[in-house]
Amino acid sequence: MHILLLAVTLALFTLPAPLFAQAQQSVMIGDKEAFLHVPPNARASAVLVPGKGGIDPNDPLLRNRAALNARGIATLTVPHGTRLGQAIDYMRKVKEPVALVGVSAGVFFAATGVGRGAKPDTLVLISGSLMAPGKLPAQEALKTPTVLPPTLVMANRQDACDLTPVAATEPFVAWAGGRATLQWIGGAGSGRDPCGPNSAHGFAGADAEVVDGIARFVIR
C-alpha cells in the first residue's frame, strides 16, 4: 500500500504544469466579483478582460488562463465594467509587473480603462476593434497614444469578424507612434460565428502561440 501511494504521488508531481489547476479565489474589485489565480513563484501578473460573452469558459482568455498560470503569470479575470485601475492596483500587491490583457470586446474595455487613467506596466490587445469603422474602437477610448504603456497588438489576418476589421491593425500601430508592437497570430478554427471564440477571431488552433507571445511580452 505504501509503495502504491508513493507511486501515485510521484506520478502527480511529474504531470505537465498546465494540468495543475491553480486554486481559484473570488475577490471583489469595487462592486464587481473577479477571479484570482496565483501560481507558485509567480513572475508577473495580468488582469484579463474577456470578450463579448464575459467570464465564460469558452472565452479565448479563459480557455488559456491555466496555460498563462503555468508560465508564471498570476491572473485576475474581471467582468466588463470593472474599475481597471483598481484591478491593476490589486494585482500590484500580488506580483509586479502587471499587464492588462483584453480580447475582442474586452479590447475596448481595456482601452477605456487606460484612457481613464489606469496604468498597467504593459497592455495586450488581441483581436479587437482598433480604429473606425470597427465597433467601439480602442483609438476612440484612448483619445491619445501618449497614455499607452508598452503595448502588444495581436491580430489574425484570417479574422473575418466585421466588428473588428483586421485592416485597422497596422494603422493603429502607426497611430500609437512607436508605443505598440504588432504580432500576427494564426488559428482558423471551425466555428460558424466569425466573431466567436472558435474562429480565426478567437485564434482557435493557435492558443500556444498566443500564450507564448503574451508571456514573452509581460514577463520582464
Nearest to 43 by CA among 99, 89, 126, 111: 99
pLDDT tier, 45 (very low <50, low <70, confident <90, very high otherwise): very high
Q: Which long-range contacts (CB under 8 A, 24 or more apart) does 8-17 make?
A: 16/70, 17/70
Give percent of the chain above pLDDT 90.
84
User: For residue 144, what is its C-alpha cell?
Assistant: 491619445
Average pLDDT, the chain: 90
pLDDT in tens, 5-36: 333 333 433 444 444 456 899 999 999 999 99
Q: What is the mean pLDDT of residues 163-174?
A: 96
Round to whole Å and give the CA distance between 136 and 52.
12
Higher pLDDT, 74 or 1: 74
Residues 6+ apart with CB under 8 A from 4: none
Please give the pLDDT value at position 181: 97
- The DSSP 8-state label assigned to residue 8 in this structure reads H
> Over the stretch 56-97, which tens digit does the pLDDT of each residue have?
999 999 999 999 999 999 999 999 999 999 999 999 999 999
- Residue 220's pLDDT is 84
DSSP 70-123: HTTEEEEE--TT--HHHHHHHHHTT-SSEEEEEETHHHHHHHHHHHTT---SEE
d(CA 38, CA 45): 9
Q: Which residues contact 1 (CB under 8 A, 6 or more apart)?
A: none
Please answer whether residues 56 and 48 qualify as being in contact, where contact means their C-beta atoms are separated by less than 8 angstroms. no
Pick from 126, 130, 148: nearest CA to 64:
126
Mean pLDDT, range 178-201, rounded to an integer: 91
Domain 22-218 CATH class label? alpha beta
Residue 4 has pLDDT above 50, yes or no: no
Cell numbers of 157, please?
A: 489576418
In angstroms, the CA 125 to CA 214 distance is 10
Residue 208 has pLDDT above 80, yes or no: yes
The dihedral formed by the CA atoms of 35, 41, 44 and 49, expressed in degrees to the nearest 10 = -20
Residue 58 backbone phi and psi in degrees, to 5? -80, -10
Full 3-state SS string of 163-180: CCCHHHHHHHHHHCCCCE
Closest CA to 50 of 75, 80, 73, 87: 80
Asked whether the predicted pLDDT for residue 38 surpasses 70, the reply is yes
